[in-house]
Structure formats: C-alpha cells, structure tokens
A and B are shown apart, each in its own frame.
Chain A
Amino acid sequence: MSSMIETEHLSKGYGKKLAVDDLNLMVNTSEAFGFLGPNGAGKTTTIRILATLTKPSSGRAWINGFDVMEEPSKVKEEFGIVQQHMSLNRELTVRENLELHGRLHHIEKMERRRRIEDILDYVGIADFAGHLIEEISGGMTRRAMIARALLHEPKLLFLDEPTVGLDAQARRKIWDLIRGMKSDGATIFLTTHYIEEAEALCDRVGIIHQGRLIALDSPLELRRSLGLFTVESRRNDNNTEYRYFPDRDDAAEAVKALPPGGNVVMRESNLEDVFVELTGRKVTG
C-alpha cells in the first residue's frame, strides 16, 4: 500500500516548547486517519507543516512522495484543506470564494464553472451560492469551506477540527460529507478532540499528547489494547474507579463481585478511556 503522508523525525518548537516532537508517521493512500488529542497537543501545527504554512524546526515530511520543504508547489497541488478557523473571504459570496480558489488552482474557466455548480450541489449549499459569507450560518460556512477544499479534486484532504462549534445536526451533515469523500477515494487526515468523531470516521487513529505520538492503531485495536469493556464504580471518596476487561462476561463478573448498592456502570470502552489511561487526562480537557 502506498503512503500519502510520511513524516520522519518531524519537530517544531516555539521557544523552549516543542509543539511537535519527533513525529514519525505514515498515512496510507485512501485511508481516513484521525489525529486525536486535546487543544494544544500539536495537531494543528502538524497540519500547518504538512500544508506548507509552517517551517518545521527539524525532520522531513512528504505528501504523495513530494518533499514538503523541497517541492512545496507540487505539494500544494495534492491537498485540499478545511482549517479550524473560518478562512473564507467574508467580503465575497460563496460562489465568488470558489471562483477565486478555482482561479488560483488554474482550473480552466468552463470546467471551473461546471465544478463550482456541482460542488455547491454536493455539499448542499447551492441555494446560498450568492450570499456573502458573513450572511450565512456556521454550518453553511463550514460546508462552503469543504466545497472549496474539494474544488480542485485533491487526492488528500486535511480537515482540522471540521465540526468544532457546530450543532449536532450540522455535525452529522459534515460527517456524511466526509464519509462521501472517503468512499470517493480521497485520503482523509482529520484532527479532532471529539472522541465519537474519530471513532465514527477513522480507519486508524493516532493519539497525540504534548507534541508526541503516543499510540497509533485502529479505534478497535486501541480499545482492545486496554479492554473492550469498562466498569465504572463510584468510590466512597467520591472518585470514580475505571477497570477494563477484554469481554462482556469478564466485566459482568467484576460487577457482581462489587458490594451491592454502589453506583456502578458497565459499558463498552472508548477512545476517551484509551487517552485517559495513556496520559492521565481527558481529551476534551
């Protein structure tokens, strides 16, 4: 299987603090890869390096075989990006933003117009194409950003916290779009601090903490490494104890062994459990 993203000892420091610390990573072509970690873990810095926006302090990175530092113009042809913050031109309409993006990616005029209409339909904002960005909702704006990222038909999509700040309905719509992009063959590199987002969308998940990659596997295997079932029991000191078991039967036995009348919950484990066990803190913390 060929790799779409590869990094080798990639680091980025700001003063004495390392935002990205010796990152070695390989993301396969057509894979949906999730980068999971709390705010400030180094997710966005990694994307900014891969997207040619930030120079790394050391190490190397390749996108579809092109060296990010040595061949940035070729790298820029390979990816589309939805940044965490709103990065559309607010003084332009949705369609004009797409028109600008198409021009900057050298898409021929007739083809550009056809793609813009197609992509507006695809993301479901055709009715808002003539509206200024400042006139549309957060969910619509995010969809417009996705439309822009897809317009030049990139092989790789960087999605930096694509659903942050959106309500549940808008989030589900964005998830459907991401699933659609994946089934169309795009490689997805998604950063998130939403556990359910990583579990729902990603083939593999890398957990990043204080700039370091501390775990990397499929969501299921990461959970299996800890135990697929969790027993939460409230202790007398008001703290909750978490215990992990490989299957439901073992977890049920453990519940039976607890003193009756306590506050006990048995459930499937999740990536939040994995993260907490690895780092001692919550992803959303």
Chain B
Amino acid sequence: MNLADAYSILWADLVVLRRRILRYLVTTLVSPLLYLVAFGWGLGGGIIVDGTSYFAFVVPGIIALTAMNSSFTGAGTRLNVDRLYFKSFDECLMAPISPSSLLLGKALVGAVRGLASSVAFVILAVLISPAFALSPLFLASLIITCLLFSFLGVLAALISKSHEDMGTFSSLILLPMTFLGGTFFSLSQVPEALRFALYAFPLTHSSLCIRAAVLEQPFPWTSFLVMVGFFGVFSAGCYLVLKRASI
C-alpha cells in the first residue's frame, strides 16, 4: 500500500469539500440537531438514564450516529455515483496504484467527511453543555467509527448495481442501526436476548465507546476491539470485491 496514492485519491475530494464546506456542514448538521432537539430536550427532558441526564446520555449517541451516516454517505454514495453514473471510478482503476491504496483513499474520503460532521456537532454540543470530556479515547473511538463505516460505504458501493441498491442497503442496514444501535436508549433497558442481538451492530459499540469516553465512564475495551474487528472485516471485504471485479 502506498499512502501517497491514497492521499491523491483523497486530495480530489478535499478540493471539492473545501469549495463547499459551509454548505456541507449546514446540510450534515440538520439531522443530528433535529435528533438533539426531539430526543434530547423534547422527549427526554427530565429523564435519568444510567445515572446521567438523558441529554448527556443521548449526545454521545448522536455523535456516533452522525459519524456513521456522514462517513457511510461520504464514501459510499459518492463512490456509487462515480462508479455507476459518472464512470470516473474507471480512471482510478486504470491508474498504476494498488487496490489497497485505492480503497484506503476512497474510505478516507468518507472518514474525513464523517470527522468534519462529527466535530462540528461536538462543537455545538460542547457549547450547549460544556460538561463533556473530549479525551484521546474519544478521538480514537470517533476515528475508528468513521473509518469502519467509510469502508462499509465503499463495500456497499462496490457491490451495488444501481443507486437504488444503495438506498436498499441504507434502509435495511443503517436505518435499524440508527434506532437500535444504543443511540437513544441504554442497552440495559432491553431484554437480554435482544441486547445480545444488538451487539451485532457496529454502531452499538461505537455508541458505547464514545459515550464512555465523553462521560468519563469505564472504557469498554471489548467494544473498541469489536470495532477494530468490523474495520478489518469491511476493509478485507472491499479488497476481495474489488479484486474479483477487475483485473
């Protein structure tokens, strides 16, 4: 793998992102802010969850959710459009760079967008409630979240045969995670069998790690390792699909 090649792929998106950063941030913050108002202040006002206010509980979950959505869309939807409609992905495939550099570059496109959205939301959240701790563990959890969902986006884009397929993937995979991945409620509130099933979602582990880091609770290292595992599985999946599809 050549990191300079991966950066070249990322560079093109950074040029575009720099041109549209304000519009991008405004667009990407609408959804988490609506969740914050509806669930944090509206529905959850006065509720205590696991010993903290619901607002303090839900903000880290929304950070994880924002990272997931922005990274997946930033990498997956853009690649899907480049591959199937603009056909500009062919040019990357014909460039003398390794498949792993190409995939890392495409995933970094999503990860950078995910980080930009998440950091913007974190800044707003800290302004609203300065109690959050922004530690290295928080940053590490956020970065691994962005990377794993970027690679999931790349994987979805590589196996999709149409834009509709990406929509189907979002509806069947991302939407259930959005509401069941430990964002809006504590896993301690659900029956044990369901809790076990919810651990199959990578977002559950992202929420647990980010929440623990932000609220200065004992850090769930097992969940962090599970995220690293998901990252490995998704990136390996991307590599296999790309190698199978092209020479």
Do A and B interact? yes
Smallest CB–CB gap between B194 and chain A, Å? Answer: 43
* B193 contacts across to A, CB distance below 8 A: none
How far, in whole Å, are A77 and B94 apart by their CA atoms in the complex? 9
Interface string of A66-84 (1 = CB under 8 A from B): 0011001100110001010
Smallest CB–CB gap between A157 and chain B, Å? Answer: 13
How far, in whole Å, are A106 and B5 apart by their CA atoms in the complex? 8
* B88 contacts across to A, CB distance below 8 A: 87-90
Contact of B96 among A54, A90, A92, A105 (CB under 8 A): A105
Question: How many residues of chain B have a CB within 8 Å of chain A?
Answer: 22
How far, in whole Å, are A77 and B96 apart by their CA atoms in the complex? 6
* A73 contacts across to B, CB distance below 8 A: 96, 98
A85 at the A/B interface (Cβ < 8 Å)? yes
Smallest CB–CB gap between B246 and chain A, Å? Answer: 6
B91 at the A/B interface (Cβ < 8 Å)? yes
B197 at the A/B interface (Cβ < 8 Å)? no
B95 at the A/B interface (Cβ < 8 Å)? yes
Interchain CB contact under 8 A, A104 and B15 = no
CB closest residue in chain B, given A72? B247
Interchain CB contact under 8 A, B246 and A52 = yes
* B93 contacts across to A, CB distance below 8 A: 52-53
In the complex with contacts A89-B12, A92-B16, A96-B15, A104-B247 CB distance below 8 A: no
Interchain CB contact under 8 A, A103 and B87 = no
How far, in whole Å, are A68 and B246 apart by their CA atoms in the complex? 11
Interchain CB contact under 8 A, B247 and A52 = yes
Interchain CB contact under 8 A, B92 and A104 = yes
CB closest residue in chain B, given A68? B247
How far, in whole Å, are A69 and B92 apart by their CA atoms in the complex? 18
Smallest CB–CB gap between A115 and chain B, Å? Answer: 16
* A196 contacts across to B, CB distance below 8 A: none
* B94 contacts across to A, CB distance below 8 A: 51-53, 76, 81
* B16 contacts across to A, CB distance below 8 A: 91-92
B53 at the A/B interface (Cβ < 8 Å)? no
A254 at the A/B interface (Cβ < 8 Å)? no
Interface size class of A (residues with CB under 8 A): 20 to 34
Contact of A53 among B5, B15, B90, B98 (CB under 8 A): B90
Interchain CB contact under 8 A, A53 and B96 = no
Interchain CB contact under 8 A, A85 and B11 = no
How far, in whole Å, are A89 and B16 apart by their CA atoms in the complex? 10
Interchain CB contact under 8 A, B246 and A55 = yes
CB closest residue in chain B, given A74? B96
Interchain CB contact under 8 A, B86 and A87 = yes
Contact of A83 among B8, B15, B87 (CB under 8 A): B87
In the complex with contacts A100-B12, A106-B96, A87-B247 CB distance below 8 A: no
Smallest CB–CB gap between B100 and chain A, Å? Answer: 12
Contact of B12 among A51, A76, A86, A96 (CB under 8 A): A96
How far, in whole Å, are A54 and B82 apart by their CA atoms in the complex? 17
B131 at the A/B interface (Cβ < 8 Å)? no
How far, in whole Å, are A16 and B117 apart by their CA atoms in the complex? 48
* B86 contacts across to A, CB distance below 8 A: 86-87, 89-90
Contacting A at CB under 8 A, from B81-109, are 82, 86-88, 90-98
How far, in whole Å, are A90 and B88 apart by their CA atoms in the complex? 9
How far, in whole Å, are A85 and B15 apart by their CA atoms in the complex? 24
Q: Identify 7 new A-B residue pairs, CB closer than 8 A, beyond the known A86-B86, A90-B88, A100-B12.
A: A51-B94, A87-B88, A89-B88, A92-B15, A100-B11, A103-B11, A104-B92
Smallest CB-CB A-B distances: 3 pairs: A104-B95, A103-B8, A76-B96
Identify the A interface with B (CB < 8 A): 51-55, 68-69, 72-73, 76-77, 81, 83, 85-92, 96, 100-101, 103-106, 148
A-B contacts, 7 listed (Cβ < 8 Å) = A86-B86, A89-B86, A92-B16, A96-B15, A100-B8, A103-B11, A104-B5
